[in-house]
Amino acid sequence: MHDERRRIEERVERLHTQRIKPAIYAATVPFEVEAWQAPGEPVSFEEATAARYEPFAMGTPWGPPWGTTWFRMRGEVPAAFAGRRVEAVIDLGFVGDWPGNQAEALVHLPDGRPLKAVNPLNQYVPIANPATGGEQIDYLVEAASNPDILANNFSAPTLLGDVLTAGDKPLYTFLRADIAVLDEEVWHLDLDIQVLLGVMTHLGDHEPRRHEILHALDRAMDTLDLDDVSGSAAAVREVLAPVLAKPAHASAHVVSGVGHAHIDSAWLWPIRETKRKTSRTFSNVTSLADEYDDFIFACSQAQQYEWVRDHYPHVWARIQESVKKGQWAPVGGMWVESDGNLPGGEAIARQLIHGKRFFIEHFGIETKGVWLPDSFGYNAAYPQLAKLAGNEWFLTQKISWNQTNKFPHHTFWWEGIDGTRIFTHFPPVDTYNARFSGEEMDRAVRNYAEKGAGTRSLAPFGWGDGGGGPTREIMERARRLADLEGSPKVVVEHPDEFFAKARAEYEDAPVWNGELYLELHRATYTSQARTKQGNRRSEHKLREAELWATTAALHAPDYTYPYDKLDRLWKTVLLHQFHDILPGSSIAWVHREAEAEYARVAAELEELTAEAVAALGGGAPRVFNTSPYDRAEVVRTAEGALAYVAVPANGSAALAPSAPDRGVTVEGRVLDNGLVRVEVAEDGTLASVFDLRAQREVLADQGNLLRLHTDLPNYWDAWDIDKHYRNRYVDLLEASAVEVVEQDPLRAAIRVQRSFGKGSTLTQTITLRAGSPRIDFETEIDWHEAEKILKAGFPVDIRAPHSSAEIQFGHIQRPTHTNTSWEAARFEVSGHRWVHVGEPGYGVAVINDSTYGHDVTRTVREDGGTTTKVSLSLVRAPRIPDPEADQGMHRFTYSLLPGASIEDAVAEGYALNLPLRVADSAGEPEPVVSADGEGLTVEAVKLADDGSGDVVVRLYESRGGRAQGVLRTGFPLAGAEITDLLERPLEAAHLTDGAVPVALRPFQILTLRLRRG
């Protein structure tokens, strides 16, 4: 046979594109359109209804950046359309084919009910099927003119990312608003051809099936009447029917399709726009559910449900109905799809608590899995936290973006730092926005790493990132691919069903231990430093407010625990942990608002804490310690004097100054407190840090060396830091001033001032206190760089085989060598309050109060010694998507802790992030709880969420070893229960002498519910 593939393929392509697709809508009449430009921010439907509209013609520009234009569309279905399927077709002037980052609209009926949304891939609104003719149509369409921030593939900075800088030039030209007849036979023919072409083009040339489809398509095109596409469509479909009817092979891979619409809670749009995106997408989804009984949609993020409930009650009612019918599946059980690395342990616990409770309360459904397709890596505490919240499975997708190494599994058991395992799936289709294209189905089968053991994978389908969701075309492709030779079998089903089947056939799946590190987007540990600092401060202020509110509730009869306020503030913080807000990868508008929200949260939490402390009664000054560790520290009194005070963990003590064994002396640029001796060089770096206890020099080279690197990644500026950043840098070795600014037996400090780059300035106050080996670097930077990253390096004289970095409820060890490509890819990693490096008998910790990114490298010196260098990433200067990212003032502190064990690092990490509070108080309450036993660390103290008055305590083992001890209470204890994260009882806890004995495995998390006597 002669090879005529090229001729046939080109023929099919032209006829499909130029004749069949244009014939999908058989006849049209235009709407009569009027418009009203809403001033400023979006307005209510009621306000829009009352506005004055002006005539509007197709082809007219509309829509300033971030504006809202309301269109009134009126029309009548012609009598000639009777008996046909009639729809409204609206094209706002869409650009490209991504629904989420451009013009979008929500169509309302005159009574205010949202009907359906329109976007570039979903331009229709049902009118009647069949129409009778004469139907009167009156729509009010809320159109958002959001700018295309992704234009030109992020190749240049844009001012469109903030309403304050975007200007007012119209962005779009309205192209079409018609009443149209959908020719269903032509529409189905279009889909038949789409599916067959997709299957055919991804089969090998040697496959008979490829040639069978090719020649069937050729015969079908012979049947097509170019002068009467509509009239011949049925006959063309009959020619194609036999090749569409051939069943898949018995061994065909099974793809479980789950409807999905990834809606970033903020990213290239502000939070206010996400609220509208949810209404548009969810209107489309519920409309699609009405059309397709076999449709199932999985939706996460309780926050987005709450927005719809509060702002779009009609859409909310439709969601509730879809849930009852089993077509809508709440999943994920988190308040938002948060970042997977940066939120603290208690914050991730609250994500799961608030998310799962929302779905239980509003739908009577307890979600079974964690749904996190798009976060930028996943911490190794997740398996335990997920299981403690009652979850059975975990889903992620983003690991497919790895820059260097291909992740070896798609279905596996993920083991966390404590040993907990959770059944995990990583869809081989490599997208959470699947469309059931031939390319995607081929990729899913080729990628699938479990061949021979497993037979199925999951594919979330529907347009996403900015919403949009599944379309009827995607559902039609799924139906055709249900059992089709040459393709995997597609079944649309609930994700719980997929996970049950996948686990049943592959119970002995391989195990992946430790973090799921994403080999990309490493700069998200550093970008938008003020957003990250706001999160860190908020997490610790929430801990503080809850502890002292609980203390006051136990000891002050007239005090009322602020349940509602704390709940609201937690939800605000959880929202801003979304995986494009906290990582610093959103537009300027998002981060401007985030900083303002964090300031409001801090002020309100400060007020709540002050009220709780005041409720204990006025009197003499006391010092309050929110840390779970006893502390003896220098504090400043209200009068400005310094005092050295010992304060118990989670408790308070009278401000009765005591004296440490030795004070701080200053000689030139040398600070000495009897524990460490610190010498500051003329250039402001550390010339020496000598540990007087161990009689050894800590540094192998200049300490606190500030290094300014050129930082232009290959792509994704705010997200990525590529390895080549290391190749070009300037060390900041010129100081305009190095001077002693504080000299007191309890505290001494040297200030270093620098100017550098494009007008940036940096002031550091190097502080040493009596009684502590910790050296603090209080830092203030006025930052005006572009495409740079500033790091602070500490080269220590330690041969460390690995570094340890704090993560949620524990820490993770990472090798300091680069033996394999996996270790080499971890050239920038995340950690929370501390990083520790050590050799047998000696260690050093670097502690911080607001940064997350760091790197640890090691070299061998000529003398044979090893230098292990810990470098903190302090601030970046990406220009995309926010051209002014990180510009301006930054204030933070980091510290060097010589001679530190892991336990020392844990304690000082808490201490730096939870400063002692001095306030007047007449009460001398016992700490609510105290944990006696090495490694037992209390993470949260609060009253139970059910209002019972029970005290809930969450603690964990923090050293990485077994821990035994007792939890004692500062109140009469009548009983105790071990609970899950949602404070539901798991088993009774035994009491011994009025306390709770505790035995924990390494990094185990334990939640106790304590009943007051």
User: Any idea which residues carry the catalytic annotation?
Assistant: 374
What is the amino acid identity at position 678? V
What is the amino acid identity at position 718? A
- Under DSSP, is residue 605 helix (H, G, I), strand (E, B) or coil? helix
What is the amino acid identity at position 741? V
What are 351's two structure tokens? 């994500």
- 69, β-bridge pairs: 37, 143
Token match 């709780």: residue?
612
Residues in the chain: 1013
Token match 């970095």: residue?
805
What are 242's two structure tokens? 């036999």
Is residue 99 a contact partner of residue 152, using CB atoms and an 8 Å limit? no
DSSP state of 163: T
What does residue 352 show for φ and ψ, rounded to 5 degrees?
-70, -40
What are 532's two structure tokens? 């990250």
- Under DSSP, is residue 785 helix (H, G, I), strand (E, B) or coil? coil
CA separation for the pair 429, 695 (Å, rounded): 58
- Under DSSP, is residue 595 helix (H, G, I), strand (E, B) or coil? helix
Is residue 225 a contact partner of residue 231, using CB atoms and an 8 Å limit? yes
Give, in degrees to the nearest 5, the angle at Cα 46 between 40 and 51.
60
The half-sphere exposure of 689 on its side-chain side, counting CA atoms within 13 A, is 26
CB atoms within 10 A of CB 607: 13
The half-sphere exposure of 657 on its side-chain side, counting CA atoms within 13 A, is 11
CA separation for the pair 633, 916 (Å, rounded): 8
What are 469's two structure tokens? 């969701």
CA separation for the pair 937, 629 (Å, rounded): 8
CB atoms within 10 A of CB 435: 20
- 706, β-bridge pairs: 792
Is residue 682 a contact partner of residue 779, using CB atoms and an 8 Å limit? no
What is the amino acid identity at position 598? Y
- 653, β-bridge pairs: 623
What are 934's two structure tokens? 């090495």
Closest C-alpha among 900, 913, 846 to residue 627: 913
Alpha-carbon torsion, ordered 730, 736, 742, 743, to 10 deg? 100
Token match 């990309």: residue?
520
Alpha-carbon torsion, ordered 598, 601, 603, 606, to 10 deg? -120
Cβ contacts of 345 within 8 Å, gap of 6 or more: 381, 385, 807, 808, 809, 939, 956, 1005
How far from chain centre, in Å, is Cα 1012? 38
What's the Cα-to-Cα distance from 997 to each of 79, 660, 936, 944, 1006, rounded to whole Å?
A: 81, 34, 11, 21, 12
What are 454's two structure tokens? 């497993």
CA separation for the pair 23, 187 (Å, rounded): 8
The half-sphere exposure of 905 on its side-chain side, counting CA atoms within 13 A, is 31
What's the Cα-to-Cα distance from 545 to each of 178, 578, 624, 911, 918, rounded to whole Å?
A: 57, 23, 12, 16, 15
What's the Cα-to-Cα distance from 189 to each of 228, 439, 651, rounded to whole Å?
A: 14, 20, 73
